[in-house]
A and B are shown apart, each in its own frame.
Chain A
């Protein structure tokens, strides 16, 4: 671990944007956060636990989209499609063969990853806004297909009902506290894996592709393969989140997977800070928890949302918790 430890410490030092946390202090902070998170079900009402559960699910979705948008710079506005494939796949496979949800979570991930591969392969070479439009198209095609109930599979506009639930030793994880631990356990695992990926050969190649495709190719990076890997991985992760969503919602219907959802996911990544893992956690909190806090103003929700986005772009384009690159690039700050 020698090399990587030094590297992590230097990352923490470079974290910019106020978070000047070093080695042991950082570990202590992490432990405190985990402990606080673990204690939440003791103090929160069921209602707020549900909010925290949705925060976790959207954090997962944000993390998966961040791989594509933040790390590699591919504008994907159709990410809900993979989320939907995961959720529908979970219900259908459970109904057909009664597979356990523990098995269905990775399986839905694989299903969505396969779909991500098939759908992105023909369009992955598109740049910027062209890719954006193509992915919006994919998302809409899938949603309309779900509504039209092909071969009586998807239940049309009413959707499908998931009768099964995650079980541990025969006990269903129905209660919010148990489900909360499940969701945030998965978030923790994914964050751990993504942090390691960020500081690896693969994560570096992704960032090079984002910075300059021609130069990346000239450095021996297979740009097409790097993009496909990020897209497939992101799609797979969204698919796995789909299982959690289906288990939480019980009813899976097309109205959960509209274009607006894709916009919210995109906003989570941009709001938090492109390419920043803590940024995604903060961004998803802003999108999922804040609206609940401001419930009394629910009718003004879209107004707040729009105004917040506009203000963000003017005053803090790097996001709430930017990756160090963005913050340093935008402020011109240099390492001391």
Chain B
């Protein structure tokens, strides 16, 4: 069964049809990439899946359950975590505290339990810290656990955001341009990390502009152009599809409109 299924999803903002009739499946255990020119509607699609926007029409099913109508924090509880295109960390909190936030939805200590420090609350707190620590170790930031997120260099911030998303213990991890702004060795390390995440059993859905990353690690690629999926398949299928070349480069013989 497909892990995530979008059927006929549309979203309009005023006069702009940002997403028109998208149907897309993400198979369990894969790395699926969503590519397309700027403004194609990729991030909008992510925001629709994660509950930040609500589609005008269409259904989004995750593990068989309808997601449309759920609020973002409920979507996270169902097992979908995300990162942001423009890194959105809690900059005045430490790295560890950032990652601990991801465990919020996997713990339940309430007001009184937290004040009285009941046995169950202490056990939960210990477990939550263990998970957070493990996530920091996975991205190689355990030494920076007590640094403020604001003090990290850019590449580490992106890794911290991934660790924070993983701390929600997701089934599906959605990464919005994780390689954006990274240098070559950093994006190489990122590819390793994403493969490692898949190996641990988490399905990955990726928006990415860096074609080396996309072609290097994706099991499946979908191409979005002007709010529509115009091609799907393995990286090599998509690379050679004429409609994809056209979307990126324009039609042969067409005048440049400058």
**A residues near B, CB below 8 A?**
1-4, 10, 14, 193, 196-197, 200-205, 207-208, 211-212, 214-223, 229, 233, 325-326, 328-329, 332, 334-335
Does the CB pair B105–A220 fall under 8 Å? yes
Q: How far is the CB of B143 from chain A (nearest CB, A)?
A: 11
**Which positions 69-104 of chain B face chain A at CB distance < 8 Å?**
71-73, 76-77, 81-82, 84, 88-93, 97, 100-104
Does the CB pair A220–B168 fall under 8 Å? yes
Q: How far is the CB of A110 from chain B (nearest CB, A)?
A: 14
Does the CB pair B100–A204 fall under 8 Å? yes
Q: Given A201-B104, A201-B125, A201-B128, does the pair A334, B93 have CB atoms closer than 8 Å? A: no
Chain B residues closer than 8 Å to A3, beta-carbon distance:
122, 125-126, 129
Does the CB pair B168–A219 fall under 8 Å? yes
Does the CB pair B84–A215 fall under 8 Å? yes
Q: Given A10-B146, A207-B97, A221-B73, does the pair A4, B111 have CB atoms closer than 8 Å? A: no
Q: How far is the CB of B83 from chain A (nearest CB, A)?
A: 9
Chain A residues closer than 8 Å to B50, beta-carbon distance:
218
Per the bound structure, the CA–CA distance linking A200 and B110 in Å amounts to: 9
Does the CB pair B102–A4 fall under 8 Å? no
Per the bound structure, the CA–CA distance linking A229 and B112 in Å amounts to: 12
Is B109 on the interface with A (CB-CB < 8 A)?
A: yes
Instruction: In the A-B complex, list the 10 residue pairs whose CB atoms are closest, starting with the nearest.
Output: A220-B105, A200-B114, A220-B76, A211-B90, A215-B88, A217-B72, A325-B92, A219-B101, A208-B101, A193-B115
Q: What is the total number of residues of chain B having a CB less than 8 Å from a CB of chain A? A: 46
| A/B pair count, beta carbons within 8 Å | 122
Chain B binding surface SS class? helix
Does the CB pair B114–A14 fall under 8 Å? no
B36-67 near A? 1/0 per residue, CB < 8 Å: 00000000000000101000000000000000
Chain B residues closer than 8 Å to A201, beta-carbon distance:
103-104, 107, 109, 114, 124-125, 128
Chain A residues closer than 8 Å to B168, beta-carbon distance:
219-220
Is B182 on the interface with A (CB-CB < 8 A)?
A: no
Per the bound structure, the CA–CA distance linking A329 and B88 in Å amounts to: 17
Does the CB pair B117–A196 fall under 8 Å? yes
Selecting from B147-155, B200-208, B212-220, B226-234, the interface stretch reads B147-155
Q: Given A196-B117, A335-B146, does the pair A211, B105 have CB atoms closer than 8 Å? A: no
Chain A binding surface SS class? helix
Out of B71, B121, B164, B165, name the residue touching A200 (CB < 8 Å): B121
Q: Given A200-B121, A219-B101, A219-B102, does the pair A214, B52 have CB atoms closer than 8 Å? A: yes
Does the CB pair B115–A196 fall under 8 Å? yes
Per the bound structure, the CA–CA distance linking A325 and B93 in Å amounts to: 7
Q: Given A4-B125, A218-B50, does the pair A329, B92 have CB atoms closer than 8 Å? A: yes
Q: How far is the CB of B157 from chain A (nearest CB, A)?
A: 12
Chain B residues closer than 8 Å to A332, beta-carbon distance:
151
Per the bound structure, the CA–CA distance linking A204 and B124 in Å amounts to: 14
Q: Given A4-B125, A218-B76, A218-B82, does the pair A202, B101 have CB atoms closer than 8 Å? A: no
Q: How far is the CB of B66 from chain A (nearest CB, A)?
A: 19
Per the bound structure, the CA–CA distance linking A297 and B111 in Å amounts to: 45
Per the bound structure, the CA–CA distance linking A302 and B117 in Å amounts to: 44
Chain B residues closer than 8 Å to A328, beta-carbon distance:
148
Q: How far is the CB of A126 from chain B (nearest CB, A)?
A: 18
Beyond A214-B84, A220-B168, 8 additional pairs, beta carbon < 8 A: A202-B109, A202-B114, A207-B97, A214-B52, A218-B88, A219-B73, A229-B111, A334-B151
Which residue, of B89, B90, B122, B124, has the highest number of chain A Cβ atoms within 10 A?
B90
